[in-house]
Amino acid sequence: MSDLSIGGGVRLPEPSRGDRATQVGSTQHFTGGIVLGSGSGFRTGLESHLEGQGTLLLAARPEVQDLVEQVLFEWFDEDGEIHKHYIDLVATERDGTVIGYAVRPMGQVKDAYLAQLARVKEQAIAQGVVDDFRLFTERDVCPVELFNAKLFHSVRRPDCFGDPVARDVVGRMTGVVTIESLVEQTGLDGMGFRALVRLIRSGHLQMVSYERIEHSSLVFKVKEVCA
């Protein structure tokens, strides 16, 4: 891991764990990267806007423990010829289930691609590389889930001042209340809101309704938090 000696010392994220380096620039499509994981985290390369959305969505789901991009799998066709296929995203869930995702817009999903994907899926499951292999398209992007996933990602870094205050407020709460009322009890405005969003992300708070996380959203305490 690299170190950047600024202020108290900032650690740069770990390099990508993918088997193939993603493009850093293109005149034809979106490219970019995102940092996932706790602490300094690790880089995750992206080669389409849809991959970025899928990465945010999967990383935010509570059942997903780890996420790696561009994982190499070698498969063979009907003539026995070996080919390389890079699985766009591979998610490992907390129960050990491994799911691969092929990310592609519906406009680019043709019969030949689906036939190849089916063959890759059959062989990858048979070899124990994944437990399931799924196609991820724009139809799998829920606007509400994506909004909340972006919010979770934007507040992912802990706050040594705001987090203990929010934990104390949530530890004393009873029943169903609005996020706004909890923010008021923290006395920390935006800092308090971000800390409460982190408690939703960690499962200590739960939304009453499936909706965008906003100040007016109703929440209740699911499990105790350490003050």
Q: Residue 209's domain is classified under what CATH number?
A: 1.10.10.10
Q: Which of 115, 142, 169 is the last residue in one of the domains?
A: 142
In a domain, 201, yes or no: yes
Joined tokens for residue 41: 């985290």
Whether residue 172 is found in the same domain as residue 135 = no
Q: Which of 27-36, 102-111, 178-187 has the lowest mean pLDDT?
A: 27-36
CATH of the domain at 108: 3.40.1350.10
CA atoms within 13 A on the CB side of 27: 0
Q: Which residue has the tokens 């409460």?
A: 196
Q: Which of 107, 142, 177 is the last residue in one of the domains?
A: 142
Q: What domain range is 170 assigned to?
A: 158-221
Whether residue 185 is found in the same domain as residue 118 = no
Over the range 74-108, which residues count as b (16 or more CB within 10 Å of their CB) and which as e? ebeeeeeeeeebebbbbbbbeeeebbbbbbbeeee
> What pLDDT sits at residue 38?
85
Q: How many domains does the chain have?
A: 2
The C-alpha atoms of residue 172 and residue 221 are separated, in whole angstroms, by 10
Whether residue 108 is found in the same domain as residue 40 = yes
Residue 80 has pLDDT above 50, yes or no: yes
User: pLDDT tens digits, residue range 82-141?
Assistant: 999 999 999 999 999 999 999 999 999 999 999 999 999 999 999 999 999 999 999 999
pLDDT band at 1 (very low <50, low <70, confident <90, very high): very low
Q: Which residues, 6+ apart, have CB-to-CB distance to 4 below 8 Å?
A: 10, 11, 12
